[in-house]
Chain A
């Protein structure tokens, strides 16, 4: 793009947007290149006027440096402050979106500072994925802000008698205390540290745009703070929802609660709000009609590098297998998922099919949100060990593709909700493997997979239906060819991260060039 006139190339070697400026001297010496660089002779008689002419062009960010007989002017990259409590090495489910978004902005020429929690929080509590940390673009500046987590103290000598008496009560009381700073349990107490860090970052290098990704919703605070203080535009990225219970389809809390009022205020001034699917966006449009900005869908997606690892995949590896297939689930198991119905269906299918009877069902990922696995889920999985169900632990993000390649078919087990897409559905789609969708058809992931071949959805969530889906998926998985995989992979192209994020990045760049939202 030609920077001064902001039109798409090709542009003439000299740009009218500059040449129309008032300094006749400047008129003679400035050259504009459509690469984005401007060049001006250093031997002009009026240097101040030369600079003024350049600055008054429609370019918001400029750097100037002398080079030989010329001043070289270039567009200075805009500075994005990206706020994400969960960022690598955290291995939380939402971390992939945060990682990908920050990297995408850097690749599009932005300076990116990520504001996140101190690494000890992840090391002690959520668990870490150090391999994932290596995926952070080295140009991203990561600022870690101390965060005192409610579950945070591993040393039992520091646990009070009251906490040992009832960790539940202690946690509840602590959550109430956190709410004083910001109306969000557990994370609200982080507000002050966030604001202090934000001020320092803005002082050192002025911020042009803030994106907060939630939850936790306290991540929205720096955007709001800089907007009030310096009119910096901000984007609210709703990875999850704040006041919508996506499983019950009802509002959480009163519309007049402190947190609801806060959300309304924040959305009213946001340049953009991003949602992971259209049903969630539409709910927010209805409850909080957009004022200054727009509500956009930025779906969770898969990374192009991830999809590349499946290109050319062949079923040859099956030839050497004497046993059955490997059905795989990869993801976090939490919330109201039809796990038991799925496993009962599996048990039935094993009785009805020799192929399924000799197959295995492997579960990989985390059980619950914390580093310690949810004992209830573990107990359920234990009950099905005798029918080839095994839990084989969490997987580093960098090993995810390799693990998928050990599977012959994938299980998409999700809670019923018209608002739930999940992140893994995109990865599942990218692999090209057959997918058994073990969730209610109303679940939003259905919309993502509609039209894909080798996709076997439930008509209703019962063990009998799940059994039927297992049987159909198994038959197909055993017959898949390299061409079948390739066709499915091509179909999924529209779900890549690039297709989701680039339009937003381009739009935001032009938005801040115009001075941001109100």
Chain B
């Protein structure tokens, strides 16, 4: 039985998603590579901070950033400027990674503001956190629904597909 898989690729940083895909896969299509690795039909959706030319139908949440009350408050009290200063020092970067302006937290807040993004994430069989800023969103979504598989990194996910999901098909 060749059941299809709903895969959602999440990109949390402001990087161009197409560049990220190209860097990891060369010219290959992620959807085709996933299908090849698993031997199953794969439907791919993208939730990203920045828009993608290759996935124009993807959900872009960067536009929702800053609308959350916490973001407005942080901006008003000068937290963004402080983050910039701290980023110059190793200990400062450590502090930033624990703070509310860490990109993975900012992205997670933006996702929660967008119903279409939440809906896409809920519909997934597999979540792929393409970059580190996407990990929190994938991890939290999986916490709410433990039947969803969640992976970090495109190379790792392709490897996992070749083993885990191909085995599921044969069983």
Contacts and interface: CB of A to CB of B under 8 A. Distances in A.
Interface of A: 120, 123-125, 127-128, 153-157, 159, 164-169, 172, 366-367, 371-373, 375, 378-379, 381-382, 391-394
Given A379-B14, A392-B22, A372 B93 contact: no
Contacts of B22: 391-393
B129 to A, nearest CB: 7
Contact of B93 (A128, A164, A168): A168
Interface stretch (B24-32, B60-68, B72-80, B116-124): B24-32
A371 B158 CA distance: 12
A156 B129 contact: yes
B154 A372 contact: yes
A372 to B, nearest CB: 6
Contacts of A155: 149-151, 160
24 contacts: A123-B156, A123-B159, A124-B155, A124-B156, A125-B153, A125-B156, A127-B24, A154-B151, A154-B159, A156-B138, A157-B146, A166-B94, A166-B97, A168-B97, A371-B24, A371-B153, A372-B23, A372-B132, A373-B20, A375-B15, A375-B131, A379-B15, A393-B23, A394-B26
A156 B159 contact: no
A154 B160 contact: yes
Contacts of A372: 20, 23-24, 130-132, 153-155
B157 interface: yes
A166 B94 CA distance: 8
Size class of the B contact interface (CB-based, 8 Å): 35 or more
Most buried by A among B146, B150, B152: B152
Contacts of B13: 375
Contacts of A382: 15-16, 19
B94 A156 contact: no
B1 interface: no
Contact of A172 (B26, B94, B130): B94
B156 A154 contact: yes
A367 B26 CA distance: 12
A120 B155 CA distance: 11
Contacts of B138: 156
A489 to B, nearest CB: 28
B98 A166 contact: yes
B151 A373 contact: no
A-B pairs, 7 with minimum CB distance: A154-B156, A373-B23, A156-B150, A375-B15, A393-B26, A371-B155, A168-B97
Interface string B1-20: 00000000000011110011
B97 A154 contact: no
Contacts of A367: 23
Given A156-B129, A167-B135, A172-B94, A394 B23 contact: yes
Nearest to A128: B155
Interface in B129-147: 129-132, 135-136, 138-139, 142, 146
B157 to A, nearest CB: 7
B142 A157 contact: yes
A124 B153 contact: yes
Nearest to A364: B26
Contacts of A154: 151-153, 156-157, 159-160
Given A156-B142, A372-B154, A167 B23 contact: no
Contacts of B136: 164
A381 B22 CA distance: 13
Interface string B73-102: 000000000000000000001100110001
B19 A378 contact: yes
A391 B130 CA distance: 18
Contacts of B154: 371-372
A219 B35 CA distance: 38
Contacts of A127: 24, 155
Nearest to B102: A166
Nearest to A124: B156
A279 to B, nearest CB: 28
A220 B97 CA distance: 34
B65 to A, nearest CB: 16
Contacts of B94: 166, 168-169, 172
B94 to A, nearest CB: 6
Most buried by A among B22, B23, B132: B23
Nearest to B19: A378
B155 A123 contact: yes
Contacts of A366: 23
Most buried by B among A165, A366, A393: A393
Nearest to B151: A154
Given A154-B159, A379-B14, A392-B26, 13 more contacts: A124-B155, A124-B159, A155-B150, A156-B135, A166-B102, A167-B132, A371-B155, A372-B153, A372-B155, A378-B15, A382-B19, A391-B19, A394-B26
Nearest to B26: A393
A124 B135 CA distance: 16
Nearest to B25: A393
B52 to A, nearest CB: 12
Contacts of A373: 19-20, 23-24
B153 A165 contact: no
